[in-house]
Every structure is written in C-alpha cells, then in structure tokens.
Amino acid sequence: MQLMKSKPDISSSEDIRKIIELFYVFAYKDDLLGPIFLKIFPLDLDKHIPITVDFWDSILFFSAVYKNNVMLKHILVNKKIKLTKQHFDRWLKIFQHSIDELFAGETADLMKQKADLMAQLMRIKMRDSEQTGFIQ
C-alpha cells in the first residue's frame, strides 16, 4: 500500500505564482472565462501574472507589494463585457480548484476564503459602477 503525500500549505509568493499559473491554464480552457481572457480583454500573462502574485502576496502575507487598483481594472473590463454572477462564480470555482490542486492548509484555506470575499465584493462594485454618480 502506497501512502499519499500530503500537500504543502502556501508559504511564499512562488507558491502563489504556481496557483495563478494553474488558474490561467484552467481559465483559458473554460467556455465562459476563456473568451474574456483570450479575445475580449486579452492578457499578457508575462506582465499580468506578477501583478496578480503581488496582489495575493499583499492579501495573504501583508507584504504591501501590490500597487494597482484591482477594482478599477475590473470596472474597465465590465464596461467591455458585463460581468455577471455566473462569471464570478466560475472564476471562484476555478480559482479555488487551482489552490486545491496544489496546496492544503491554513493559508490555502485563507486564500480560498479571501477569493470568495473578493468575488462578492467585485460583483457589488461592478453593479455599483453602472450607477449614475458612482464614486470608486
């Protein structure tokens, strides 16, 4: 009988990079998210992944290395294609699956919880951004 090796917990920005890279492998193949990332709002992953890693590093490890406005970036996407609850639910499912494929533990669980909160907040901000007089 072979023992299964347990997965490590997330402990570094390199771990976060692995999650983000795997996420895009899955997301690019997804019928709902793939077209957004590939055609509607194409990403340069060589530039985008380090920014996303910085975002999550700041969230998980309080590093304060993220210097952009995540909401504004998504509001701009929302102006091109209306992002719906279905989009955010799919993003969350793929993102959490990417974490689970590679890691397990307290920080992995925290990242999944923060991603869920992020998806909820993004949906609210996208809705609010469509209202007259919206202030970021």
For position 50, which CATH number holds?
A: 1.10.490.10
In a domain, 136, yes or no: no
**Which pLDDT does position 129 carry in this prediction?**
76
In a domain, 89, yes or no: yes
Rounded distance, CA 83 to CA 77, Å?
A: 8
**Which pLDDT does position 1 carry in this prediction?**
53
In a domain, 74, yes or no: yes
**Which pLDDT does position 63 carry in this prediction?**
94
In a domain, 69, yes or no: yes
**Which pLDDT does position 136 carry in this prediction?**
55
| Chain-centroid distance, C-alpha 13 | 14
In a domain, 135, yes or no: no
Residues of the domain holding 26: 13-129
Could you read off the pLDDT of 40-52 as tens digits, one per residue? 888 899 999 999 9
Could you read off the pLDDT of 110-132 as tens digits, one per residue? 999 999 999 999 888 888 777 76
Residues of the chain with pLDDT under 50: none
Structurally, the chain folds into a number of domains equal to: 1
**Which pLDDT does position 71 carry in this prediction?**
83
The tokens for 80 are 């091109």
In a domain, 58, yes or no: yes
